[in-house]
Amino acid sequence: MTHTFVTGTATHIGGRDSNQDAWLVSDGLFAVADGLGGLQDGEVASRLTLDTFDAAFTADRTVSGLLGACREANRAVWRQANGQDATMGSTLAVLAMTSDAAAIVLHVGDSRLYRLRNGRLEQLTHDHTVIADLMRAGELSESDAQTHPYRNVLTRAIGVAPEVDIDHSGASCEPGDRFVLCSDGLFKVLSTDELKVMLASEVEPQRSADQLVANAVKREAEDNVTAVIIDVH
């Protein structure tokens, strides 16, 4: 089944000195990357991740091509970091329309994909962070997680090792669905309920993306904030 997509994108530097978030809206390929590293290194890493990923997936739109594109992005950032003797990396959250298995969600790190369907908001990724692992194991409550000393520590990222573990799965995708890709700067200041209310109250995707990011920034978001909205028709 072929869908058409209408998208909206917004990003903001938040309280940081540079915006290390990056987004991608391409042919049947949507992604957010949140760079890690020193001032320019994080920016380089997130952009390189998305550019490499986009080019490789465009050449092979199968699921195996999608996974290969992620590994290629990982190698590109790893090589760049080693070449500059810098520490850099990136998260990557992707919604991709593959040629052999329809919609696939793929992610590394703590950027997220949500789907709003019939008024219900579902998170389709689970964060690769120390605290998310502890919460899944029942060893940490949600309120304790907010002050945990390791709350910003990722367990996986693009470009920090020669190989990367990738999570991917099929994503049911129907007309009327609204998908949201976002960096942690958004969901760390807006609760899931607030996200749901905001997403459901604005029909037009660009205005909705602008509204999400503006509301996060109003909460004095310390981090960069990025949202990509994908409406399925």
Residues in contact with Mg ion by CB under 5 A are: 34, 183-185, 223
Alpha-carbon gap, residue 118 to 10, rounded angstroms? 24
Distance in angstroms (rounded) separating the CA atoms of residues 233 and 223 = 32
**Between 168 and 188, whose beta carbon lies closer to Mg ion?**
188
Residue closer to Mg ion by CB (options 20, 98) is 20
Least distance CB 37 / Mg ion (angstroms): 12
Comparison of 173 and 212: residue with beta carbon closer to Mg ion: 212
Q: Could you tell me the smallest distance in angstroms from the CB atom of residue 215 to Mg ion?
A: 16
Q: Which helix (H) or strand (E) holds 42?
A: helix 39-59
Question: By C-beta, is 97 or 186 nearer to Mg ion?
Answer: 186
Q: Two tokens at 1?
A: 């089944």
CB of 80 to Mg ion, least distance (A): 20
The least CB distance from residue 111 to Mg ion, in Å, is: 8
Task: State the nearest-atom distance from the C-beta of 14 to Mg ion, in Å.
Answer: 8
Please tell me the distance from the alpha carbon of residue 53 to that of residue 68, in angstroms, as a whole number.
Answer: 9
DSSP assignment of 175-205 equals TT-EEEEE-HHHHTTS-HHHHHHHHHH--SH
**Nearer to Mg ion (CB atom), residue 97 or residue 217:** 217
The DSSP line for 130-150 is HHHHHHHTTSS-HHHHTT-TT
Contacts of 216 (CB under 8 A, 6+ apart): 12, 14, 185, 186, 189, 190, 225
